[in-house]
Structure formats: structure tokens, C-alpha cells
Amino acid sequence: MALPPEKYTLSNFVDACRNPEKFRHELKKRYGDVQKHAFYRKYGRPTDIMEADWDNLLILDACRFDYLAKHNSIAGELDSAVSVASTSNEFVEKTFAGKTFHDTVYVSANGFSHHLEDGTFHEFVSTYPESQRDTLDSELYRNYRPEIVRENALEAHERHPDKRLLVHFMQPHGPYFGPKAEALRERLRTNHGLRFSAWSDDTTVTSRSDGMVYLMDAAEAGYVSPSELQEVYVENLTLVLEHVEALLEGLDGKTVITADHGELLGESTNLYSRVTGDRYEHPGYVWTPELRLVPWLVVPAEQRREIVAEDPVNRGDVDDEVVEEHLRALGYQS
């Protein structure tokens, strides 16, 4: 692969040596280009989820194929698929932007969904209304809980029984719920004085600069081991699967369970982490199995739905500040 001579000059190389972060960024970018083509050859090209055959598509945010294969509790035919993205904003942009799906209702707890134009779907349903703009972080995080997403999804299906249903759960993505996660946060608060914005009544703790956003940050800082982080990831995967299973009881038609992207959970065994040093979270535009291989679990269906496309209904307004607050809560904004 030829390197553009106008970009890779001696003066630019000297400048990059003086700025290690710039050098590292360029290295990751070039490595990603090579990585993508190698990934295509080994695993195939990405799946266009909106062209796939389903009546209900349930997205588990940051769910890795290998972890679902090991911990899945739902009957069905499990295979892997290649995601178009390694982070949610990239997934939303590549999957939905500039298109219309008037036969589909989209229920989402992911803030990047709000970047789409009105009228993209027949109806867009957010789990966090404008009225919650001024709530404390500890209350705001309630909107990521899988039971809230499940309730919104069932209500949307009841309103629109002749539409495809697309549901975006936030788990197993952080912030992490469950007793293991809480015990780990309590240990870090007690032993290291760490504060976590999601679980504090102090509204000033809203960014990585004055507190931890969630346990992934603590792992990156060395306070949490990879094995501990993986345990709370599994805890949240198990949690969301329980609510997915409950949701399935209220749905008819063919259901597929998948993910928008995967997650790096501290492993140092993959080539990407060895080259770049990134061992956690989900950097954008990266091609590695931990981030791009997602589950494609087809749940048996006795009967299919009759799907009809109709003009969009007005979605409830969500203030831009609300969206930004939720993205900060997920660690995307500083």
C-alpha cells in the first residue's frame, strides 16, 4: 500500500516525533486501513441489518459475539455477523443516516440515535424525555436500565402492531448495574476515594476530569483488573438477556438479537491492542473481532407479522442538552 508522499515527509515525521500522540493517531489510522482488508478476507463484509429478514430486531449495545455465545440463555440459532461499526455513532451514521424506514419503529436508549433526522422511522421513541433534563445523574441513569427499554418497546409494539420493531438496549455497555458492579464501585470509593458520576448525588461530578464516569474508566486507570471488568460485563449481559427474554413473550413475528459493535475488555492478546496499546472500550473505525464480530441470534417464530409502511408520526422533542448529557453519562463527551 503506497504512502502519500505529500503527507509522509521528513518534516512531518520530525513533527510527529515531537508529538507522540499525533504519531500514535496516524499509526492507528494506517493500521486500521490495512486491518480492514485483512478482516474482510477472513470474516466477510458487514451485515446491513435493515436489509435483513426480521420483524423485531433487538440490539444489545457493545455485545461481543464470543460472550453471548458463552452466556446466552435464549433459545435460537446463533451465528456471528460483521458489524458496520466499532462504536455507536459510526453504527447509527452508516446504518440509518440519509435513509427512511417508514415500516419501522425505533425504540432507543442510545443518545446517538437523536442525531438522525426527523422522519427517518415511522416513529422514534426515546427512553429519556425532555422533562428529565434537570434530573440528577443518579436519576438520569435510570433511563439506561433494560426494564425501561423493555416497557417502551412493548408500548410501541402495541401502538404499531403492523410495523417492524427495532429496540436498542444499552447493556452490556456501561454504566454497569448489578451487585458485582456496585461492590466494586464501593471498594474503589472506600480504598481510593474514587467518585462515579452515575451514582453520585453531586451534580458537579459529570466528566472524567473530576470523577470516573463508569468502571471502564477505572479499569483504564489501573484500579480494576481485566478479569473484574469482564465479570461486571457478564453481569450486565445476563441482566439484559433476562429483559430481552421477557420482551419476547410480548412480541410476535421473527426476532433477531444482535449488537451495534463489540467491546475491548482489557485483553492484550489481540493484534490491535498490541500495536496501539488500546485495551478498553470501543474506538471508532477499528477492525478487530472483539469489536466487529457481533451475535446474530435468530429466535424461532411460529407466525410472521404483516408489515405496512406509513407516513411518520411526530416524535417527542428531546432537548439537545438532554442528548449531550446522556452522551457524557456514557463517557462519550468530556
pTM value is 0.84
User: Among 16-30, 175-189, 261-275, 291-305, which stretch is predicted with the lowest mean pLDDT?
Assistant: 16-30
Cβ-in-10-Å burial (0-12, 13-18, 19+) of 298 comes to middle
Question: Is residue 233 a contact partner of residue 70, using CB atoms and an 8 Å limit?
Answer: no
Write phi, then psi, for 294 (nearest 5 degrees). -120, 160
Q: In this structure, what is the dihedral angle of CA atoms 199, 200, 204, 206, given to the nearest 10 degrees?
A: -10
CATH classification number, 47-329, choose in 3.30.56, 3.40.720, 3.30.70, 3.10.150: 3.40.720
Q: For residue 123, give the 3-state DSSP assignment.
A: strand
Write phi, then psi, for 313 (nearest 5 degrees). -100, 155
Q: How far apart are CA 300 and CA 131, in angstroms?
A: 39
Joined together, the cell numbers standing for residue 37 give: 482488508
* pLDDT tens readout for residues 200-241: 654 444 444 446 778 999 999 999 999 999 999 999 999 999
Question: Is residue 154 a contact partner of residue 250, using CB atoms and an 8 Å limit?
Answer: yes
Mean pLDDT of 111-118: 85
- For residue 275, the model assigns a pLDDT of 75
Could you give the count of Cα atoms lying within 13 Å of 188 in the half-sphere of its Cβ? 24
pLDDT at 47 over 80: yes
* pLDDT tens readout for residues 126-139: 886 544 444 444 55
Q: Which amino acid is at 37?
A: H
pLDDT at 172 over 70: yes
Q: What percent of the chain has pLDDT over 90?
A: 61
Q: How far apart are CA 118 and CA 104, in angstroms?
A: 13
- For residue 155, the model assigns a pLDDT of 96
Cis before 226? omega within 30: no
Give the Cβ contact number of residue 110 at 10 Å.
Answer: 24
Please list the residues that pair with 164 across neighbouring strands: 104
Mean pLDDT of 60-88: 97
- For residue 310, the model assigns a pLDDT of 96
Cβ-in-10-Å burial (0-12, 13-18, 19+) of 275 comes to middle
Q: What is the radius of gyration, based on Cα positions, of the chain? A: 20
Average pLDDT, the chain: 84
Q: Dihedral sign for Cα 169, 240, 46, 166, please.
A: negative
Question: Is residue 59 a contact partner of residue 258, using CB atoms and an 8 Å limit?
Answer: yes
User: Could you tell me which residues come within 8 angstroms of residue 123 by beta carbon, excluding any fewer than 6 positions away?
Assistant: 105, 106, 156, 159, 160, 163, 312, 313, 315
Joined together, the cell numbers standing for residue 84 give: 458496520
At 79, which helix (H) or strand (E)? strand 77-82
Helices in the chain by DSSP H: which ranges? Answer: 10-18, 20-43, 65-71, 88-96, 137-140, 146-159, 179-192, 215-220, 226-248, 271-276, 289-292, 320-329
Altogether, the residues listed in the chain come to a count of 334
Write phi, then psi, for 71 (nearest 5 degrees). -115, 5
Cis before 4? omega within 30: no
Q: How far apart are CA 103 and CA 296, in angstroms?
A: 21
Q: How far apart are CA 187 and CA 193, in angstroms?
A: 9
Q: For residue 167, give the 3-state DSSP assignment.
A: strand
